[in-house]
Amino acid sequence: MSRLQIHDVSVVYPGLNGGEQVRALSNINFTIEPGEFVVALGASGCGKTTLLSLMAGFISPSKGYLTLGDSTLEGLPRVACGVDLEDQITGPGKDRGVVFQKHALLPWLDVIENTEFGLKLQGVPKRERRERAAAFLKLVGLEDFHHHPVYQLSGGMQQRVGIARALTNDPKMLLLDEPLGALDALTREVLQELLLDVWKETRKMMFFITHSVEEALFMASRLIIMSPRPGRITHEFKLDFNERFLECRDARKVKSMPEFIQMRERVLSIIHGDELSGGMH
């Protein structure tokens, strides 16, 4: 089984107009084990999304390296030259599915065409890719919406399509960049449960970014808390509230357990401390 390893990675963004460089990530050492659900939590500007972009292969580290299984991950080339259009590009790969906060579905395709899009790119015959896409649409509860235009769907349903689309490609891991951030509270809870069900079903590695402490505690097998300036991992917790939910199927019960509330207060105080010291800069 392949794990994702991050070896002493730093990312430095050049300053704007010759200004000071921004150290988005500093000396990150970190491993995601197979089947783990890792949630990254932290104040704005702590480098969560930079970390995800590294894993997805959108950017390269300034220092250090990442491996997934035996292969080293690279970023997209800095300057895309338009000549080698046929080339397989370095960087992102279909072994790492990404779910974005929004704007990533293709509005000219309907629900099932969006879901099967990755397979189409790889030249999978239409009948086979339809079948596989349909299976994952069923998993996310959209089996009756194959031919709806995606731009007419609610935000929650669009994210369901985004999740099904990433899964249809059968990636080794799923990278979720605040996938529920733009949804209303009710829909959000429904999709949290859905994602845990998907995780249980597939046991894929998950890397999930969120701003919500409660969501982080509920979803994570391992929670990492990040801190800004420079972006780094300050705390790590092993949690099992997700497993407890999958056993009892009662999210409210899990979220009102004394351990959950205790943990929530602890994490909140850590993050608030960051935000206060962040304000001093």
Partner 1 sequence: MSATKTLDARLIGEASDTSDESTRLAHEPAAERTPAPSVPLIKRIAALFAAGPVKPGESYGAPGQGRSLAISVVTAVALIGLWYIATAAGWVAPLFLPSPVAVVERFWEVLTQGFANATLLEHTGWSMLRVFGAFALAMATAIPIGIFMGVNRVARGLFDPIIEFYRPLPPLAYLPLVIIWLGIGEASKVVLIYMAIFAPMALSARAGVRSVAIEQIHAAYSMGATRWQVVRYIILKSALPEILTGMRIGIGFGWTTLVAAEMVAAQAGLGFMVLNAAEFLVTDVVIMGIIVIGIIAYLFDMLMRFAERKLVPWKGR
Binding positions for partner 1, rule: CB under 8 A: 56-58, 76, 80, 82, 84-89, 91-94, 96-98, 100, 102-108, 117-118, 121-122, 141, 144-145, 148-149, 151-154, 156-157, 165-166, 169, 184-187, 189-190
Closer residue to partner 1 in complex, CB, 193/243: 193
Closer residue to partner 1 in complex, CB, 212/234: 212
- CB atoms < 10 A from the CB of 13, how many? 13
Smallest Cα–Cα separation from 266: which of 209, 223, 230?
Answer: 223
d(CA 175, CA 152): 25
Least distance from partner 1 to the Cβ atom of residue 123, Å: 10
Strand, helix or coil at 124? Answer: coil
Closer residue to partner 1 in complex, CB, 157/263: 157
Closer residue to partner 1 in complex, CB, 20/86: 86
Closer residue to partner 1 in complex, CB, 118/228: 118
Least distance from partner 1 to the Cβ atom of residue 106, Å: 6
Strands (E), 91-164: 96-99
Smallest Cα–Cα separation from 180: which of 97, 98, 101?
Answer: 101
d(CA 32, CA 55): 11
Least distance from partner 1 to the Cβ atom of residue 245, Å: 15
- Written as one letter, the residue type at 210 is T
